[in-house]
Structure 1
Amino acid sequence: MEQMRKLPIGIQTFEEIRKENYLYVDKTAMVYQIVNSGKPYFLSRPRRFGKSLLLSTFEAYFQGRKDLFQGLAIEKLETKWEQYPVFHLDLNAEKYDCAESLNQMLSRNLTLLEEEWGSDVAEMTLSTRFSGVIRRASEQTGKQVVVLIDEYDKPLLQAILNEPLLDEYRSILKAFYGVLKSSDRYLRFVFLTGVTKFAQVSVFSDLNQLNDISMDKEYNALCGITKDELVKVFTPEIQRLSENEELTFEETLSRLERQYDGYHFCENTVIGLFNPFSLLNVFQKTKFGNYWFQTGTPTYLVSLLKQSDYDLRLLVNGVEVTASAFSEYRAEANNPLPMIYQSGYLTIKDYDKEFLLYTLAFPNDEVRYGFLNFLVPFYTKVTDDETGFHIAKFMRELRAHDVNAFMERLKVFFAGIPYDLSGNTERHYQAVFYIVFTLMGQFVDTEVRSSRGRADAVVKTKDTIFVFEFKLDGSAEDALKQIDEKDYLIPYRLDGRRLVKIGVNFSKETRNIERYLVEE
């Protein structure tokens, strides 16, 4: 068997990747451009998207480690290779359950820096200590200092639904990060990364000189992997995967695109980005899976969705919004979009230049089906483990034309609607309906209504097309009548497959399917 090349799964240190001969997608041309065209930067990207490796690359560059960049694009661009004092703070490794834990983490980082550059007993606060150690490092070396802060917002995300604790974290971090403005003359380069954007966060009100490149077209591909980079760097891995999955090279590439591609971080970008963590894992395990989604549980996002009574159909089909509607840092129940977008579960799919409107949607199948599958237990009594079983059964039952079994199984999902929803019953029922039928789309061609004039759902198997119409406190007869009166079958008349109409009455009182009729 051919020896597998080394894939840097979980390795975020540039030096280790280069010294140990791990595969590396060369982003150093952009690194060079950034460090030579500005000083204070901010970049927002979802988790596991290469932010930590990027900061490690900056660190090696500013340490003058020319040896680590041999053969890379930057080798032909840089001629000086100067060495600077580098302060690299990583906020990702801690659990922040109280203000003291955040204070202690920042203090430990400062103590390590003070052991190298000295301290002053007059510096009593975190901000004065940070300011002092920056100044001393610059004075002792005669060089300005480089400050790299990874996951600046990790404490804020952990307290997202705890407003009092969130306020404490904001206060601590505002004073700490504010040093980066007051110490400007001692700083050569500053780069902060995080999941959430800083524009509307009070924690950055004193650091308004940061250049947010999160939505800059020039740096769209700074983190993530393009299709060209995928083929250039990973062709042997794609071939190995195609053999294991019994697919052609092109079929494998197409499935990789559907499953892991599709991220766009600015408007009008034709080239999408693959999730690097998912790609590395699918190549290492030589099988497709939801690798990125399994590394985090978006419980707080689900809480925001339920509190807002948000229409899930908008997430499934894509929602059109202004930039401020998805780029602000606000964990508000009436607008969960910013957190869902910035966490990586939605991405930019289209942009209307005339009206300055963005269309946000799921980037790919991994996120779409992973997110919806995760939602099921929060909207029904069906557990996460049971969901896949039921969806598989749904498909088998329709393929066998056993509509009765299908409808009885569907009742299991609606049985979980709680009785304390009062006026929210309709939205909740629609959410369950949408989740179930969209999840079925993993295995067959499924259309779920996104506008008036179409049936609620259409499921296409090899030999049959099932057209569903649901009525809330109506009747099954009315549902069938609507299918005929509005000619929902017209798009499928010439298809050649058997056409089956299913009219369903959903009762608001019982919160479940009350009656259904099947007609061919």
Structure 2
Amino acid sequence: MIDVTRKLPIGIQTFEDIRTNGYLYVDKTAFVWRIANTGKPYFLSRPRRFGKSLLLSTFESYFLGRKDLFEGLAIEQMEKEWTKHPVFHLDLNAEKYSSVEQLNLMLNNHLNQWEDVYGKDVREETLSSRFLGIIRRANEQSGNSVVVLVDEYDKPLLQALGNDALLEEYCLILKAFYGVLKTADRYLRFVFLTGVTKFSQVSVFSDLNQLNDISMDRAYATACGITREELIANFTPEMETFGKLNDISFDEVTDTLQRNYDGYHFHYDAPGVFNPFSVLNAFYKQEIGSYWFQTGTPTFLVELLKESNYDLRLLLDGIEAPASSFTEYRVNSDNPVPLIYQSGYLTIKDYDRRFRNYFLAFPNEEVKYGFINFLVPFYTPMNNNDQDFYIGKFVDELEDGDAFLTRLQAFFADFPYELNDKTERHYQVVFYLVFKLMGQFTNAEVRSARGRADAVVKTPKYIYVFEFKLNGTAEEALKQIDEKGYLIPYQSDGREVIKIGVEFSAVERNISRWL
């Protein structure tokens, strides 16, 4: 059972709450001190549920001079003065923004609360003029410079994706509001904004162009998330309990957690980090689950992919992206990769220093299979309740050496009329998704690169090597398997190797025959 004397801060984003109520805390305060004392206006992009809100709350406690909350932490030895500053913490994460009125109401509510403390000038009528007046009066009344913290600055913008008119209105409101932070520079000690995306900086932050974007800085790559060393140093009792309940060794626990939740890289030469939300939930429930993925679905990303006619197979196998693409802040249907990266569904796996090219791929199995499962209903007649049934049956039949292709043929025959006029690429993507999903339960590889078989599936008894031909013959597919030597890597394996040539008819939109 879980050690009830150790409290896991699942969903708790307030630093004071964690410290005063005895929750476990992975010490990130050295980052807090370094950031706060080496610069002034910052921006940090991280995926949702990655600790951005807790980081901002830690900054808030630090700038409020709450030395008592930092006892025993790294920053205690670094900070000597503990000066109290006026802190304005703007959290845009809690609201749903379906109209301009809701955004204005949220900003107005924050301003009202701050004006209750620092007063109001009747001549200040706009949101931005009121914000500037509050900052100035706070500085004058306290005798200390002001700190502004903005959590999830882009939440309204993300919710308006697909509605260009509403998005433009949100941009105008937030551009004027955030622009105050440049005008008020002489009153400010520190400014820190967080969000999921950077795409809207061109329009929203065009007046706030002095922000130091540390999202891909080596020095701060592990400021959010949990490194492998931090995992073992802080959670060994939970890992030991996890191992006992699941009948695996400590090393196997580490490997299991790493395979499912690790692998996020925010600089090509920095250590990877675990998703903190998923790790804490896995310890609390003492089992592996899709905790992060279930807290939000990437619908806007799927719509962007469909709009762009992007070849999804490239994305599923990993993709190269030039460094310049990460400075393109607009949502671009022709290049959805930066937004997918910033949202946490892809991460940095390698970097070519010579050509300044990143290789991006899924960080771990939670994201990989969560993303693929989410995509399936958008490309097939499956609904969410059907997915496990179909994939499970596919795997069973392959392992038994039975009617896998018959089931695949029946699966394509179920496609509704509106899907029947899709391009050949669409059907290639569906093949790809099916085999990728099988990888959860068996060793399935599916490739898009030339020179390799289209799909290889390894079961306890068999190794299947598939080659698909669109508007070609099954005989041609088998001939290609032989001529290209696709079987050679598996000849010494010991299992029976079966080559399968599959014809796919573009006219019938289905498998027509196989050998």
Using structure 2 for the length normalisation, give the TM-score. 0.97
Tell me how far 1:463 sits from its aligned partner.
2.0
Question: Which residue of the partner structure matches residue 514 of structure 2?
Answer: 516
Mapped to 1, the partners of 2:410 and 2:227 lie a distance apart of 42
Tell me if 1:478 matches 2:479: no
Tell me if 1:399 matches 2:390: no
> What is the root-mean-square deviation in Å for CA atoms of aligned residues?
1.4
Question: Which residue of the partner structure matches residue 296 of structure 1?
Answer: 296
Question: Which residue of the partner structure matches residue 15 of structure 1?
Answer: 16
Q: Is the 8 A contact 2:317 2:447 kept in 1?
A: no
SS of alignment partner, residue 468 of structure 2: strand
Q: Is the 8 A contact 2:148 2:192 kept in 1?
A: yes
SS of alignment partner, residue 358 of structure 2: strand
Of 181-190 and 312-321, more deviation after overlay is shown by 312-321
SS of alignment partner, residue 291 of structure 1: coil
Mapped to 2, the partners of 1:198 and 1:450 lie a distance apart of 29
Tell me how far 1:353 sits from its aligned partner.
0.2
Mapped to 2, the partners of 1:115 and 1:369 lie a distance apart of 49
Change (3 A) 1:123 1:444: same
SS of alignment partner, residue 223 of structure 1: coil
SS of alignment partner, residue 266 of structure 1: coil
Mapped to 1, the partners of 2:9 and 2:2 lie a distance apart of 18
Tell me if 1:438 matches 2:426: no
Mapped to 1, the partners of 2:487 and 2:181 lie a distance apart of 63
Q: Is the 8 A contact 2:2 2:284 kept in 1?
A: no
Tell me if 1:487 matches 2:488: no
Change (3 A) 1:198 1:503: closer
Mapped to 1, the partners of 2:293 and 2:410 lie a distance apart of 26
Question: Which residue of the partner structure matches residue 106 of structure 1?
Answer: 107
Tell me how far 1:331 sits from its aligned partner.
2.3
Aligned partner letter, 1:53: L
Q: Is the 8 A contact 2:199 2:331 kept in 1?
A: no
Question: Which residue of the partner structure matches residue 461 of structure 1?
Answer: 459
Q: Is the 8 A contact 2:175 2:205 kept in 1?
A: yes
Question: Which residue of the partner structure matches residue 224 of structure 1?
Answer: 225
Mapped to 2, the partners of 1:286 and 1:221 lie a distance apart of 25
Change (3 A) 1:200 1:57: closer
Mapped to 2, the partners of 1:172 and 1:307 lie a distance apart of 27
Question: Which residue of the partner structure matches residue 408 of structure 1?
Answer: 406
Of 415-424 and 38-47, more deviation after overlay is shown by 415-424
Mapped to 2, the partners of 1:284 and 1:201 lie a distance apart of 41
For residues 221-241 of structure 1, the C-alpha deviation after alignment (integer angstroms, 9 at most, x for no partner) is 000000000000000111111
Aligned partner letter, 2:314: L
Question: Which residue of the partner structure matches residue 370 of structure 1?
Answer: 370
Mapped to 2, the partners of 1:327 and 1:361 lie a distance apart of 19
Mapped to 2, the partners of 1:209 and 1:418 lie a distance apart of 52
Q: Is the 8 A contact 1:382 1:416 kept in 2?
A: no
Mapped to 1, the partners of 2:406 and 2:305 lie a distance apart of 28
Question: Which residue of the partner structure matches residue 427 of structure 2?
Answer: 429
Using structure 1 for the length normalisation, give the TM-score. 0.96
Mapped to 2, the partners of 1:192 and 1:244 lie a distance apart of 41
Tell me how far 1:182 sits from its aligned partner.
0.2
Identity %: 66
Residues 19-168 of structure 1 correspond to what in structure 2 (within 5 A)?
19-168=20-169
Q: Which runs of 5+ in 2 are unaligned?
A: none
Mapped to 2, the partners of 1:63 and 1:25 lie a distance apart of 21
Q: Is the 8 A contact 2:146 2:189 kept in 1?
A: yes
Of 498-507 and 362-371, more deviation after overlay is shown by 498-507
Aligned partner letter, 1:178: G
For residues 336-392 of structure 1, the C-alpha deviation after alignment (integer angstroms, 9 at most, x for no partner) is 112211110001111000000001111000000000000000000111221122112
Mapped to 1, the partners of 2:182 and 2:167 lie a distance apart of 23
Q: Which runs of 5+ in 1 are unaligned?
A: none
Q: Is the 8 A contact 1:327 1:342 kept in 2?
A: no
Tell me how far 1:268 sits from its aligned partner.
2.1
